[in-house]
Chain A
Amino acid sequence: MALTSPESKVWWNEPVGRAELTWIAIAFLWGVFMFSMMVWWHLEGNQNLSNEVYRVSPAKFEAKVEAFTEKYKVREEADIPVAKPEPGADVYMLSRLWEWWPILELKKGQTYRLHLSSMDWQHGFSLQPVNINIQVHPNLEHVITLTPTQTGEFSVVCNEFCGVGHHTMVGRIHVVD
């Protein structure tokens, strides 16, 4: 039994039952299939995370976000500026304790290059209720190509623990026609 040494000393030469062999073959092929799914989705799927990343200091990224916001600001909401960039533009959102800044207004069906980075600790970009979740690091500028397919008011929740104010960290993205 499993608590004693194998009965047959040459256990590695024993034949394996057909049912077990069949199951091993099925499980192996299923693994190959699941692996191929991820590769295939990179080629054919529409939901893949971009690998475009740059090193950036928090101060430099903040300056870029401020210039962007100034250029495209259309109004304010709860004292936070709302930026409405032209379709296809590079858009910026920074995270810091405990806010996402600025608010964005995007057009449905248009593709944007969204730049994300953190001013301090790690944060979690969690777009709700769409449910897109991306980790945000300081010193790294992640450029995500994003195409909204719904209109409405969407929230950006922080889903990486970032201290006592973590649960107050909410940002906003509007999508209009």
Chain B
Amino acid sequence: MSITADTTVIGGIAAKFRTCPATGLQVDLAAERLIKANAVAAIVFLAIGGLFGLLVALTRWPAVHLLSSDMFYLVLTAHGLDVLLVWIIFFEMAVLYFASAIILNCRLAAPRIGWLGFALMLVGALLTNVTVLQGDASVMFTSYVPMQAPPNFYLGLILFAVGALLGCFIFLGTLVIAKEEKTYEGSIPLVTFGALTACIIAVFTIASGAIILIPTWLWSLGYISHIDTVMYKLVWWAMGHSSQQINMAAQVAIWYAIPAMLLGAKPLSEKVSRSAFLMYILFLQLASAHHMLVEPGISSEWKVFNTSYAIYLAVLGSMIHGMSIPGAIEAAQRRNGFTNGVFEWLRRAPWGNPAFAGMFLSLVLFGFLGGISGVVLGTEQINIMLHNTLYVPGHFHATVVAGTTLAFMAITYLLVPLIFQREIIWPRLAKWQPYLFGLGAAGISLFMMGAGTLGVSRRHWDITFSDAALSFDYPPAAFLMLGLNGLSGILAAIGGGLFVVIIVASVLFGKKVDASNVVAALGPTPQKQMSDTVSTYGSAGTFHLPGTYILVSIFFTAFVLYYFVNWKYLSELWQLG
């Protein structure tokens, strides 16, 4: 690769660029270095947190019951922290820098502040991890008061959050620079719009985190005597759940980005897709209520309005993406010549390309497992049957592992050739990786949801209650579910381990990418047979997408059936009033 590092001086600030051989875009080398650093840190914490997750799954498996009780609670705390927060936010920083500087063909605002943010995040993540591993902070990721952790547990989280906030401001600053310096024409691309959504939600999230973690830290130090338990949960979850909405926006942006890169897919309607993102900005933050549905001290009116994201308007946003993304893929594939029957476009999609396979599996698993279960779980009365059971981690492993993590893995297969400028080594192994991981993650989600439906508690070391004064047994089917969950955990760990090994080896030893091999390095793409069947987008009547209509109908039918089954179960419960 000939790094033609041009020095461009704009407004007294020198930035060095290379020209991307695939797109011809100017790539700011400072942005590129920051993307690399954040992505590497993310993957390291994914490996650590994923290993903790495997230990949790093997302990939950009654026949194996690997860890002692205190180790189990310690490892579970670290698992939640490292994957739910550290892996995902580090990777999101890389996504924000990519979606601003790289896609907009622009220099990154204040790269030095970016490094400061990176350092704060790294120090914060390490500080909290060390505090947990020392053994006095097994308070779970949520650290509900009045249970108390040492001050450094909270301090590490605060530092991490401040670092992430700096990254958000750099993203916003880069958008301003790109506009000022006219590096693009018209409106920002949809993917950048999605990243902007993620960034806005991130700022809200981090502010909520500061509002609750700073007083809790002072309480842990002894300067504050009392933290209200309900208020803590309300504000903590404005961080804890909203941070998952950052993922949501970032992963939807990736769902649009990968088909765009590999198939040339365009959104069916810019207006509709952007409006759907706008619904996220306006309504997704109400999700704190999902954790408050069986709490004392909060009115039903508040619960019903907030848990439904204001009459399900944010769910509407997701359902819109759920049609417009497969629709964009179908339209692109039909334009590429795959017009036979209803599903040739899908059959002949690049299933051997891990970026595409990961992206599509992530979309399907998120929608069917994570989305539907989330709405059901978040229904005020149905939550009485499911609150704090294993159904809850079942749901969010479908969203965060099968959804977000798989989407982030998928885009990594494109970031390695484009940003690290290396070929993926062992492409045959890489081809299988998303399937292994997706299957494992789907199993984890389904079997935990199954166990939760049978009443099994989450965050619980011993479902046989062998040390309890009063005996109790969960139904035998619950034991089967947790055994299958253990097997799925092993499968997901193999898939996740393969990902880490393939990416690390590619970055270190992969063949260099230049103009001669950059297209091949992106993995297999369908043979293009350009035709004019679908020449314009965004105007009514120019395209017909029967495959997408069928997929969406299947999804909606599953949604409605599952929703009513749960109301039926609820109606059989003891009467509560």
Determine if B3 is an interface residue (Cβ-Cβ < 8 Å).
no
Do residues A78 and B469 form an inter-chain contact, with CB atoms below 8 A?
yes
A23 (CB) vs chain B CBs: closest residue: B323
Contacting residue for B575 out of A131, A141, A147, CB 8 A: A147
Q: Is A38 an interface residue (CB 8 A)?
A: yes
Shortest CB-to-CB span from B267 to chain A, Å, is 6
Mark out the residues of chain B between 59 and 84 whose CB falls within 8 Å of any chain A CB in the assembled complex: 69-70, 73
CB 8 Å contact bits of B540-565 with A (1 = contact, 0 = none): 11110100110010001001100100
The stretch from A43-51, A66-74, A87-95 touching chain B is A43-51
Q: B574 to A135, Cβ gap below 8 A?
A: no
Complex contact A162–B385 (CB within 8 A): no
Asked if residues A128 and B576 are in contact (CB atoms below 8 Å), the reply is no
Residue B461 CB within 8 A of the other chain? yes
CA distance A99 to B465 in the complex (A): 13
Contact of B455 among A38, A126, A136 (CB under 8 A): A126
When distances are taken between beta carbons in the complex, the residues of chain A under 8 Å from B2 are: none
Name A55's closest neighbour in chain B (CB-CB). Answer: B297
Q: Does B530 contact A (CB under 8 A)?
A: no
Closest residue of chain A to B291, judged by CB? A135
Q: Which of B136-152 contact A (CB under 8 A)?
A: 138, 140, 144, 146-147
Question: Which candidate, B241-249, B373-381, B507-515, is the interface stretch facing chain A?
Answer: B373-381
Are A28 and B384 in touch, CB under 8 angstroms? Answer: no
- Give CA–CA (A120, B144) in the complex, Å: 12
A9-33 CB mask vs B (1 if < 8 Å, else 0) is 1011011111110011011101110
Q: How far is the CB of A125 from chain B (nearest CB, A)?
A: 9
What's the nearest-Cβ distance from chain B to residue A153, in Å? Answer: 9
Q: Which A residues are CB-close (under 8 A) to B270?
A: 6, 8, 11-12, 14
Q: Is B353 an interface residue (CB 8 A)?
A: no
Quick check: B388 and A164 within 8 Å, CB to CB? no
Q: Which 6 A-B pairs have the closest CB atoms?
A: A31-B312, A142-B296, A159-B457, A147-B575, A155-B472, A2-B256
Footprint of A on B, CB under 8 Å?
69-70, 73, 103, 138, 140, 144, 146-147, 184-191, 229-230, 256-257, 259-261, 264-272, 293-297, 299-300, 304, 307-308, 311-313, 315-316, 319-320, 323-324, 327-328, 375, 379-381, 384-389, 454-455, 457-462, 465, 467-472, 474-475, 537-543, 545, 548-549, 552, 556, 559-560, 563, 567, 570-571, 573-577
Selected A-B contacts with CB under 8 Å, 24 pairs: A3-B257, A3-B261, A5-B186, A6-B189, A14-B271, A17-B542, A20-B272, A23-B320, A30-B312, A38-B381, A46-B571, A47-B384, A49-B381, A78-B469, A120-B146, A122-B147, A127-B574, A128-B455, A133-B386, A135-B295, A149-B574, A155-B470, A166-B461, A168-B468
9 more A-B contacts (CB under 8 A) besides A18-B541, A27-B315?
A: A2-B190, A16-B272, A17-B539, A20-B272, A20-B323, A38-B380, A47-B575, A49-B300, A129-B474
Residues of A within 8 A of B (CB): 1-9, 11-12, 14-20, 23-24, 26-28, 30-32, 34-35, 37-39, 41-42, 45-51, 53, 77-80, 99, 111, 116, 120-122, 124, 126-142, 144-150, 155, 157-164, 166-172
